[in-house]
Structure 1
């Protein structure tokens, strides 16, 4: 790459991360919406991750602040979107994400579900599927909130089952309701309500939603440009491959979206080609020493495809499961240096995989572990995706 292009070094990228992802103590936010906006969206596949990721970045960590945004004000919206992953995004960004990403995911989910139901359940065709969905939405509108079991009690079609992989060792019987409700949620027609248990619970009631078709959303190309701009402001400077991976778009759509943001080419440390917003080429001061304990699937840890600038490749086997899901991580000044876990008695334990930062780093990590233990209190956390180091530490 030509040296005439602006060069962004790794320290500059880590300084941006500490500030823009609200991880340095001086940069923490007051509201859950501000956190989601700072990282574009909070990973929501694991119910606990939303709260843990948000509270790590809140000046006053409080699960009730996250509950307010999710369930009272509904200013955080869960969407099946980037990489076919569930995210909680701010209400203002939700139409952009729906048009740029979630709409296409929902369309694919519907095609697959329709083939699955009509091809595997006796007596099912597209007409019966449409009738079952209409009944489900009517019951939910009348009740206001309902579990899948509540809905199945009033909509007999939802009780039908399909045998998956018959005759195989992994043969399973799956309820039709699970796929229908997933698609209705993917389309925004229903959404998850408050969990039946505590904030770590994945058991919840469904409530009526707003279908994407009813949202005042920008056209897909315009929405992709808007999402790319927002992502670059949070995660840039980065590579084109990072954005393509993060969104799940094609390379053509990724390049067109970046072109619409007026992104400029930069050289990243090591000579890799990158892109940045035109107003993000100057140096950024480091926010001062900081440490953070982030949960499994945290949006920062999963924010880039190329991670060598903040993660030692030798540490990957300890911190990721076999499917590529990252577990709980310990950060020091913009770099992953270890992992953490919670034991059955509630103790927060951690281990550094690097001696970077020495005693200063260890002291700040200890402070963050105490902060986490204080607000988590009696709640017990088991990540949905277990990793080798997390299993070892929690034993």
Structure 2
């Protein structure tokens, strides 16, 4: 009988061999959550060997990977060659779904269209932070309250329609560029072909999974998800029977890639993992199952990793957990040590 969480961890590069470079890791799992840049870096770290946080930033700066709005209409990091066809499939659905909120923010269809036209001119040939974009929008007659959500929703609409994407970013500050400048032509696929391709990529990275899981992860309708699954063959990934301990960061896609977390997180501890408002906590993952949460504390040039287990930790984790803590420190460029609150 298949150990589903362990098999999923293998498919996600969270057990067995790790990836070798940033684009390879992102390509393997299709996309990584990217609404939090620091957590996004950790999503690469936990699936790779030998990379550093600066390697992730360099991959973004080079355009090898791109942060933009994709699955479920939220920010993700994708390999550059995947952005156009995935956004072309998912973007129109979420651009339309966001219209009621845009109207609430004063972004009616006419204002949104003028805003997008202005964005094409403002960021042409360069990558700018949101504050500068908002200031220049005003000079084009599109005045948005910088303290409101209107700028974010206009930028998201432009990204979901293939006009913008995130640029290389300036440290932890997001920047935005024209899609055509940063990625290339916005070349999409026919829906049937795109559905089949995305379903195949999803299963390669998330199996065992159902069409319902695929719909929940992508934001597609269940009808679309089932059509995508019907067009491809089942996927079985090889599994190496060895202990796997990983420190997943906030919002890790492993915990957001299915209709439910029930196979990965004990039901009685789910509220400790999702503390409200879609906020997913970092977890200690053992063979695909969460056994506790963790947090990092920086003090006097060192990093303390504090683990809060759900109960008594399984035996034999010591060396593997310590290795993960030390690798986290290496990735971030700061000495790290382990502390358990249990």
TM-score range, shorter chain: 0.7 to 0.9
Give 3-state SS (helix, strand or coil) of 2:322's partner: helix
Q: TM-score, normalised by structure 2?
A: 0.86
Q: Which moved more, 1:80-89 or 1:133-142?
A: 133-142
Q: Highest Rg: 1 or 2?
A: 1
- Per-residue deviation, 1:57: 1.5
- Per-residue deviation, 1:113: 3.0
Note if contact 2:244-2:320 (Cα within 8 Å) is conserved in structure 1.
Answer: yes
Matched, 1:353 2:335: no
Aligned to 1:89: 78
Note if contact 1:15-1:287 (Cα within 8 Å) is conserved in structure 2.
Answer: no
Aligned to 1:80: 69
Aligned to 1:46: 36
Note if contact 1:311-1:335 (Cα within 8 Å) is conserved in structure 2.
Answer: yes
After superposition, residues 43-192 of structure 1 pair within 5 angstroms as 43-72=33-62, 74-109=63-98, 112-113=101-102, 116-117=105-106, 126=110, 129-141=112-124, 144-155=126-137, 156-157=139-140, 160-161=143-144, 174=148, 176-192=150-166
Note if contact 1:49-1:296 (Cα within 8 Å) is conserved in structure 2.
Answer: yes
Q: TM-score, normalised by structure 1?
A: 0.75
Matched, 1:342 2:312: no
Change (3 A) 1:348 1:377: farther
| Structure 1, unaligned runs of 5 or more | 1-7, 120-124, 163-171, 263-276, 381-391
Question: 1:217 aligned to 183, 188, 202, which one?
Answer: 188
- Per-residue deviation, 1:372: 0.8
Give 3-state SS (helix, strand or coil) of 1:315's partner: helix
Note if contact 1:80-1:106 (Cα within 8 Å) is conserved in structure 2.
Answer: no
Aligned to 1:271: none
Note if contact 1:82-1:246 (Cα within 8 Å) is conserved in structure 2.
Answer: yes
Aligned residues: 333
Change (3 A) 1:191 1:94: closer
Change (3 A) 1:38 1:355: farther
Note if contact 2:305-2:325 (Cα within 8 Å) is conserved in structure 1.
Answer: yes
- Per-residue deviation, 1:157: 4.6
For the aligned residue pairs, the C-alpha RMSD in angstroms reads: 3.0
- Per-residue deviation, 1:185: 2.5
For residues 335 and 326 of structure 2, the distance between their equivalents in structure 1, rounded to whole angstroms, comes to 14
Question: 1:365 aligned to 302, 312, 321, which one?
Answer: 321
Change (3 A) 1:315 1:259: same
- Per-residue deviation, 1:366: 2.1
- Per-residue deviation, 1:328: 0.3
Aligned to 1:232: 203
- Per-residue deviation, 1:37: 1.8
Aligned to 1:307: 261
- Per-residue deviation, 1:111: 7.0
Matched, 1:14 2:11: no
For residues 177 and 101 of structure 1, the distance between their equivalents in structure 2, rounded to whole angstroms, comes to 21
Note if contact 2:85-2:187 (Cα within 8 Å) is conserved in structure 1.
Answer: no
Output one character per residue of 1:79-102: Cα deviation in whole Å (capped at 9) or x when no partner. Answer: 312222211111232233123212
| Structure 2, unaligned runs of 5 or more | none
For residues 248 and 178 of structure 2, the distance between their equivalents in structure 1, rounded to whole angstroms, comes to 32
Change (3 A) 1:81 1:53: same
Note if contact 1:29-1:59 (Cα within 8 Å) is conserved in structure 2.
Answer: yes
Note if contact 1:79-1:102 (Cα within 8 Å) is conserved in structure 2.
Answer: no
- Per-residue deviation, 1:226: 1.1
Change (3 A) 1:151 1:99: closer
- Per-residue deviation, 1:245: 1.1
Change (3 A) 1:237 1:29: same
